[in-house]
Amino acid sequence: MQDEEIKSALRLFCEFNGIEVPETIDDDVIAIDVNGVTEIWLSYLDAGELEVYAEIEGIDTDDPGIQRLLLESNFMGMATGSARFAISPVNDKAVLSERWNYERLLAENAPEGLGRFAAMVESWRTEGVALLQSKARGDEEQPGVPENAEIFRL
């Protein structure tokens, strides 16, 4: 695909899926609502790829304890599936994101994939943020080593 064809993939995706096509795609970024979940962003990167992401409000990205919990959530997709947490360099907000190629974006099952992502965003925007804040305060009992466990060090 040529660069202009790739950039138009965002427009094609909207047209194919009955999403209102923005008049202009500023900086190759569009925001869409998926299944009632607002502001899921599709951002053109290059070489046939885009980033699908959403901001997760209420997370103090300056707090080292919160940063650690976000990284732990990323570990092996423990709490994020195929998505990952990051901190936006533009506004320092926490974002949940996935990297997609244009074939995936234009595939027949793309709306299902975005629906799955939107459900994860909604979950993080509600229960996830509350859980992170609770763990950061130490309210949540942390998993530990049982008293009768034998520990072997190699």
Of the listed ranges 29-33, 61-65, 77-81, 142-146, the one predicted with least confidence: 142-146
The residue among 87, 92, 88, 51 whose CA lies nearest residue 69 is 87
Task: Provide the pLDDT confidence category of residue 5 given band limits of 50, 70 and 90.
Answer: low
The answer to whether residue 48 scores a pLDDT higher than 50 is yes
Q: Which amino acid belongs to residue 31?
A: A
- Domains belonging to the chain, first-starting first, are 3-137 (3.30.1460.10)
Q: Which long-range contacts (CB under 8 A, 24 or more apart) does 105-111 make?
A: 105/9, 105/10, 105/13, 105/42, 105/50, 106/9, 106/12, 106/13, 106/16, 110/13, 110/17, 111/17, 111/34
* pTM value > 0.85: no
Question: pLDDT at position 22, please?
Answer: 65
- pLDDT for position 31: 84
